[in-house]
Amino acid sequence: MCGIVGLFLKEPGLQPELGALLSKMLVTMSDRGPDSAGIAIYGNGTAGLIKLTVQSDTPAQDFDGLDVALGTALGGDVTVAHRDTHAVLSLPSSKAPDARAALAQLRPGVRVMSTGDSIEIYKEVGLPAKVVARFGIDQMVGTHGIGHTRMATESAVTTLGAHPFNTGSDQCLVHNGSLSNHNALRRRLAHADVHVETENDTEVGAAYLTWKMREGATLGKALEAGITDLDGFYTFAVGTKDGFGVLRDPIACKPAVLAETPEYVAFGSEYRALADLPGIESAKVWEPEPAQVYFWNHGAPTPAGKAA
């Protein structure tokens, strides 16, 4: 099964509540998947700085003194904000290309969950309520976010197998379904020099979209190409630095509900996830069409719409 939620705020006044609203939506979907849970949250970044969200199984050891060690290795200021098994490293954007290698050298046990100007990804094994609580996600502020609770099918129940997946800067993907051609696609991506970390099918999907966008496609076009190239069942929710999108495969077995008000666009695997949102009674609520890309962007003030 798996449960997916997404919330894209159009009304800036709701930004302080993003974490709380999204957490509640995700916890409501717990019975669609108890294995692991994760949230990608897009907060306000700081100009000139990039954020790496990292994870460690031995956080006390790995994150202690990491700011100084990484700062020295990179030759710039690094700050570390520690949250349970995760930490957000802020460093000068110019140092970003070297950061992964330096980190692997300094702290081999540390895994990178996300990189980007505004994205932070928190994910762990366990029920959504537990995952939300350990990272304090309900306190987080942001413009949009995506959450996922997993019932594992294609790969092991591990932190790295949890969603969301981030493969390109500020991009993330969550998935309900299963991709059947992920091994073939992984080989294609390897030829194009796209790195895929795990055995997970969704990560391949995320890497595919990143690759398409690297080749010049917009997110909408990348998703459209996915309709041809990705074989399997999927409802995807995707996030970019300032956008949020939804796509279902042409068969559309996996459920999806969208809701829109002047204040927000919300997505859930089921209506239950949306039931507590403010003003949901008067929202436009509908089921997204199969093989149709839906995309909203903070950069584009035009009414919500479908990407061509």
Per CB under 8 A, residues contacting another protein are: 250-253, 255, 257, 270-275, 285-287, 289-290
Residue 195 DSSP class: -
Least distance to another protein from the beta carbon of 130, Å? Answer: 23
CA–CA separation, 174 and 273 (whole Å):
16
CA distance 129 to 270: 18
Q: Which residues contact 98 (CB under 8 A, 6 or more apart)?
A: 74
CB nearer to another protein: give 160 or 252. Answer: 252
Burial label for 243, CB within 10 Å (0-12, 13-18, 19+), is: buried
Residue 92 Cβ, how far from another protein at the closest point, in Å?
46
Provide the H-helix boundaries in 29-159. 59-63, 66-74, 96-106, 128-135
Nearer to another protein, 250 or 301 (CB): 250
Of 1, 2, 83, 227, the active-site residue reads 2
**At closest approach, how far in Å is the CB of 232 from another protein?**
17
DSSP, res 3? E
CA distance 36 to 34: 6
In this complex, which beta carbon is closest to another protein, that of residue 242 or of residue 270? 270
Q: In terms of CB distance, is 253 or 300 closer to another protein?
A: 253
CB of 292 to another protein, least distance (A): 12
**Quick one: 42 or 236, whose CB is closer to another protein?**
236
Least Cβ distance, residue 271 to another protein (angstroms): 4
Structure tokens at 69: 């060690």
- Start-to-end C-alpha separation, the chain: 29
Specify whether the CB–CB gap between 247 and 223 falls below 8 A. Answer: yes
User: Could you confirm whether 172 is annotated as catalytic?
Assistant: no
262 with 22: CB under 8 angstroms?
A: no
Catalytic residue positions, numbered: 2
